[in-house]
Amino acid sequence: MASVSVSHMILFIASMLVAASVAGVFTDTVGQLSNAIDDQGLQVSQDVRTDVEIISDSGSQSVYNSAGNNNITLHVKNTGSETLAADKSAINVFVNGQFETDVDVTLRADGVTWRPGTVLEVEIDRSDSPLATNSDHRVKVIVNGDEEVFEFRT
């Protein structure tokens, strides 16, 4: 009779170890899922609060080649409620569908953060590939998922 209860005890302990392992895996998986949902929620919140507007005048001669250097200069205003980084790595720029890497930004206010209501000057160097004259052109600016398109004629 003692051998039956020892074997039952061993099976009971083994089943408890398996149950504890399964519970640990489920707990870890639920924790990871919860963290992923929190991260996604934060990103969506930032996307919703981010809004920018290109406020440059498309008919102005100061948009393209104003200093004789074939650069495109745009003024982009932070019209959302999110404070953004005034950093060129935080902004994606496309000119006529081509991704631009030679982009400089200058904050038109004191400080290093792009606060709501302030303007960022975006200068796109096109000295290596000037735009065709008497043509229509498009610039797309993307910040935190918010896309703005600016069309102008040279």
**Residue 23, pLDDT score:** 84
If one counts every other C-beta atom within 10 angstroms of the C-beta of residue 4, the result is 8
Mean pLDDT, residues 64-78: 88
Same domain, 64 and 114: yes
Full residue range of the structural domain in which residue 93 is found? 52-153
So what's the pLDDT on residue 37? 74
Give yes or no: residues 32 and 102 share one domain.
no
- What letter does residue 64 receive in the DSSP assignment? B
In this structure, the answer to whether residues 79 and 38 fall within a common structural domain is no
Given a cut of 60, whether residue 47 has pLDDT beyond it is no
Asked whether residue 35 falls in the same domain as residue 56, the answer is: no
The pLDDT value recorded for residue 78 is 92
Pairing of strands 91-95, 136-143: antiparallel
Each residue of 88-114: b (16+ CB within 10 Å) or e?
A: beebebbbeeeebeebebebeeeeeeb
Rounded to a whole number, what is the largest CA-CA distance in the chain? 101
